[in-house]
């Protein structure tokens, strides 16, 4: 067929400089471009962002302010459809306004008779049951629904959606590529000799008394005393994660006498640059979901710390369990599991490579379905 141009508005938690969510956006943009080119379709994205100028500068795409209804409505009116996702958009843990906002954007597109596409979302928790019929109504009118785990699909089914129309796919970030100049085989990157093993650490504030951060610092201090390592703090969400990371660094204290070292990544907002940082690690300890997804996508063994079911659900897909939770975390166990994975990373890679490669290949499935839909309706 002849090349054509299709304009798609993309709604998500974008422009807040959260590395995980920016990685979701970058992954969606990459997948749409690659799948569009394969089908002879040029995709023109328009991103709804809290900081449109920054988003345009970062990704080279058109962007409008997500909170300016007039701009959003005009963007939708001029578009060929709306993508909602990915990420955990439809949950009410972070507040009662989140679900109405994202459903409102979807509903506005549907009022304008634009097809809507649910792109690899993590659904829930939804504690306010009044939202269930709202989600059901909007999703039933969507042209395509994909979620990033089976638990999300089960929750939608409980809300009354037909399971047959829900596709379970990997998180889109599983398909995020490294910067072109830095692409190597995972074995070359993970198993290089001659340097300290790099332990990536992604922490965030959660418990008001910082008990999980104290346990992490205790475990890292034990690890550094048992084996020379490079502890590399990786803040995913600015500025909070930087503050949490420095709290952990302060709690670890001076470890120079052990032969170990500690450092922090500064201002790695570009998702591919943070992905590159993670790819250089021997192990990734993560509270942030996307720190674990970054690691697994680059064949780096994860040590997950659960604060939300989405952590457990992702790790379950690669037959792994969290080392603990924010409510119950042992520094001794954290140190032992991290050391085990450093020492056994080659066997871990061998046993997980096929499953991870399959997830990476499946990550672009939503983009492929959306492109196919646009071609059929065009």
Residue 187: band (very low, low, confident or very high) from pLDDT cuts 50, 70, 90: very low
Position 269 scores a pLDDT of 77
The residues, ordered by sequence, that sit 6+ positions from 377 with a Cβ below 8 Å of its Cβ are 115
In a domain, residue 373? The reply is yes
Co-location of 201 and 347 in the same domain: yes
Rounded mean pLDDT of 372-378? 91
Which pLDDT score, from 0 to 100, does residue 182 have? Answer: 62
183: left (phi over 0), alpha (psi -120 to 50) or beta: beta
- pLDDT computed for residue 19 by the predictor: 85
Mean pLDDT of 168-180: 93
Same domain, 299 and 165: no
Same domain, 237 and 156: no
Range of the domain at 282: 180-359
**Whether the predicted pLDDT of 2 surpasses 60:** no
Q: Is the domain of 155 the same as that of 211?
A: no
57-79: pLDDT as tens digits: 999 999 999 999 999 999 999 99
Considering the domain architecture, whether residues 61 and 136 belong to the same structural domain is answered as: yes
* 346 and 222 in a common domain: yes
Residue 175 lies in a domain: no
Per-residue pLDDT of 253-272, as tens digits, reads 999 999 999 999 987 778 99
CA dihedral 95, 99, 55, 205 (to 10 degrees): 30
pLDDT, tens digit (0-9, with 9 covering 90-100), for 208-264: 999 999 999 999 999 999 999 999 999 999 899 999 999 999 999 999 999 999 999
Q: How confident is the model at residue 330 (pLDDT cuts 50, 70, 90)?
A: very high
Instruction: Tell me, yes or no, whether 194 and 128 share the same domain.
Output: no
| Average pLDDT of the residues of the chain | 94
Strand (E) or helix (H) holding 224: helix 211-226
Confidence bin at 184 (pLDDT 50/70/90): low
Give the orientation angle of helix 331-343 with respect to helix 211-226, to 10 degrees.
50
Q: Same domain, yes or no, for 160 and 210?
A: no
Q: What is the mean pLDDT of residues 276-291?
A: 96
CATH number at residue 240: 3.40.50.2000
Asked whether residue 95 is domain-assigned, the answer is yes
Please report the pLDDT score of residue 1 as a whole number. Answer: 40
Instruction: Identify the pLDDT of residue 186.
Output: 53
Q: Are residues 27 and 135 in the same domain?
A: yes
Is residue 367 in some structural domain? Answer: yes
Query: CA-to-CA distance for 83 and 65, rounded, in angstroms?
Result: 16
pLDDT of residue 193 exceeding 80, the answer is: no
Q: Do 327 and 203 share a structural domain?
A: yes
Is residue 174 in a domain? no
SS3 letters for 28-53?
A: HHHHHHHHHHHHCEEEEEEEEECCHH
On the question of a cis peptide bond just before residue 239, with omega within 30 degrees of 0, the verdict is yes
What pLDDT score does 141 carry? 98
195 — pLDDT class (breaks 50, 70, 90): confident
d(CA 217, CA 211): 10
Quick one: 279 and 345 in the same domain? Answer: yes
Structure tokens at 19: 């590395």
* The pLDDT of residue 65: 98
Q: Report the domain count for the chain.
A: 2
If we measure between CA atoms, which residue out of 124, 144, 120 comes closest to residue 132? Answer: 124
pLDDT band, very low/low/confident/very high, at 181 (cuts 50, 70, 90): low
CA distance 200 to 263: 10
Together in a domain, 132 and 221: no
Q: Look at residue 180 and tell me whether its pLDDT is greater than 80.
A: no
């Amino acid at each position: 067929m002849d090349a054509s141009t299709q304009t798609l508005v993309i709604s998500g938690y974008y422009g807040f400089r959260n590395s995980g969510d920016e990685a979701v956006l970058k992954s969606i943009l990459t997948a749409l471009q690659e799948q569009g080119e394969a089908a002879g379709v040029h995709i023109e994205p328009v991103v709804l962002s809290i900081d449109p100028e920054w988003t345009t500068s970062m990704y080279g795409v058109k962007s409008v302010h997500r909170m300016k209804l007039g701009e959003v409505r005009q963007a939708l009116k001029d578009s060929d459809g709306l993508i909602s996702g990915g990420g955990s958009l439809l949950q009410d843990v972070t507040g009662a306004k989140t679900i109405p906002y994202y459903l409102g954007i979807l509903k506005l597109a549907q009022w304008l008779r634009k097809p809507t596409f649910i792109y690899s979302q993590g659904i829930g928790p939804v504690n306010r049951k009044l939202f269930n019929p709202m989600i059901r109504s909007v999703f039933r009118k969507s042209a395509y629904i994909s979620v990033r785990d089976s638990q999300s699909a089960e929750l939608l089914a409980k809300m009354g959606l037909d399971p047959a129309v829900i596709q379970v796919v990997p998180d889109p970030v599983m398909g995020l590529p490294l910067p072109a100049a830095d692409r190597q085989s995972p074995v070359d990157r993970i198993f290089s000799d001659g340097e300290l093993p790099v332990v990536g650490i992604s922490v965030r504030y959660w418990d008001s008394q910082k008990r999980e951060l104290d346990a992490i610092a205790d475990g890292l201090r034990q690890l550094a005393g048992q084996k020379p390592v490079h502890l590399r703090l990786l803040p995913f969400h600015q500025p909070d994660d930087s503050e949490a990371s420095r709290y952990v660094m302060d709690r670890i204290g001076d470890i120079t006498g052990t032969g170990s070292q500690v450092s922090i990544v500064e201002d790695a907002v570009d998702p591919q640059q943070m992905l590159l940082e993670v790819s250089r690690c021997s192990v990734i300890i993560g509270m942030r979901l996307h720190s674990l997804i970054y690691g697994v996508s680059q064949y780096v063994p994860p040590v997950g710390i659960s604060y939300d079911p989405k952590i457990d659900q992702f790790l379950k897909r690669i037959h792994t369990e969290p080392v603990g939770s924010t409510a119950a975390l042992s520094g001794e166990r954290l140190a032992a599991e991290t050391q085990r994975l450093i020492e056994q990373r080659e066997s871990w890679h061998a046993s997980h490579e096929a499953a991870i490669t399959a997830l990476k290949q499946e990550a672009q499935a939503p983009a492929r379905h959306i492109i196919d839909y646009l071609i059929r309706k065009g």
